[in-house]
Amino acid sequence: MATQRKSSRMRGPPKDPYAKEFVGKQWEHTHDDQKQSNPNNLMVMLGSEEFRDVRDIQPHQLQSSSSDSDQETEIRELITALQNQLKEMQQENRGLKKDINDLKKEKSDAVNAQTLQTEEMQGDPHWELQENGTVMTKLIQENLTPEARTNEIDASIEVSALEKPNNETVYRVTKQLCWGCIGESFEFLLGHNLVRAAKLEMPLVWDFQLEKYAKWWAGQRKADCKLMHSFPEYEFKLGENIYWGSGSTWRPRDAVRAWAEEEKYYTYATNSCESGQQCSHYTQIVWRSTRRIGCARVVCDSGDMFMTCNYDPVGNYVGERPY
């Protein structure tokens, strides 16, 4: 009898108020088999393979693990959460790859732009800059198109406060005014700003809408390469300079240089051009109120070159000086 009582105490649940809800059969099954085949047995509810005192079991633990369906629901929710986390990680990974590719492209564009050696222009007196004055970098805000605003130089940008602007200064300022444009677009803009800096005029900003218009007109001239304007005479809504060159090797700087060389025919004192000569291309380049520019070039079907630049606001008002 004593043995049975001792055995009964070992097999039965501990005499503890927390253990009243566990019946003897369930306790015996768990203690003897040490298995978790029954989802409602004590080991499953504890979530551990080691025995714990039943007083550690909380009511909410028993309720949450009371059935297979509850466990399946929890597992499905866990899988869904993991899948969502995986998707987020994949999206972040794609974003990182895009950032890396953008940085590589930006570096490549910078290298390409550096190949435009401004020193090549220094031998020409029409590219030289005056010995005094400062380069103004703050652009007037009125009437700027959204495209131009994205490329506008910030007034806070430091340009070394140089009182003797040089090609390096103009190059650096132009780079910030032509953000996102490279190659011939940058070459067009740099040439114009070098000429304007010589007269201490504010640098121009590249405008993609004007570039789009210039490309359209260049496309119209591809078949015949005629040196003609896109507007009827005296009806210009935009300033426009055009250029034609025999052969296909002419570059943007060649067109800008040809226009700038008209300065020798212009007399500021009388605000007039030498008889029989033309200087309106030059005066448009340095016109004081012009703020934006867009240019394009095309190799015509004949193999010759056609280039065009558009300016806004338009310049060359009769009776007014350019600067």
Report pLDDT digits (tens) over 123-182. Answer: 333 333 333 333 322 222 233 344 443 333 333 333 333 344 578 889 888 988 877 777
List pLDDT tens digits, range 262-319.
999 999 999 999 999 999 999 999 999 999 999 999 999 999 999 999 999 999 999 9
Calpha distance 105→82 (Å, rounded)? 35
How many helices (DSSP H) and strands (DSSP E) are in the chain?
Answer: 11, 6
Cβ-based burial of 277 (10 A; exposed 0-12, middle 13-18, buried ≥19): exposed
Q: Two tokens at 25?
A: 């059969």
List pLDDT tens digits, range 239-275.
999 999 999 999 999 999 999 999 999 999 999 999 9
Is the confidence at residue 190, as pLDDT, over 90? Answer: yes
Give which of 276, 277, 275, 293 is closest to 285, Cα–Cα: 293
Q: Higher model confidence: residue 81 or residue 199?
A: 199
Statement: the pTM of the whole predicted model exceeds 0.75: no
List pLDDT tens digits, range 66-77.
566 777 788 888
List pLDDT tens digits, range 27-67.
444 444 444 444 444 444 444 444 444 445 454 554 444 56
Residue 176 pLDDT: 83
Residue 108 pLDDT: 61
Q: Which residues pair with 241 in a beta bridge?
A: 309
Pairing verdict, β 292-299 and 205-206: parallel
Q: Is the Cβ–Cβ distance between 92 and 55 less than 8 Å?
A: no
Give which of 281, 278, 273, 277 is closest to 310, Cα–Cα: 281
Give which of 245, 249, 239 is closest to 225, Cα–Cα: 245
Which residues, including other chains, have CB under 8 Å from residue 308's CB and lie 6 or more apart? Answer: 214, 217, 218, 221, 230, 240, 241, 242, 243, 295, 296, 297
Q: Is the Cβ–Cβ distance between 166 and 190 less than 8 Å?
A: no
List pLDDT tens digits, range 8-29.
334 444 454 444 444 444 444 4
Is the confidence at residue 221, as pLDDT, over 50? Answer: yes
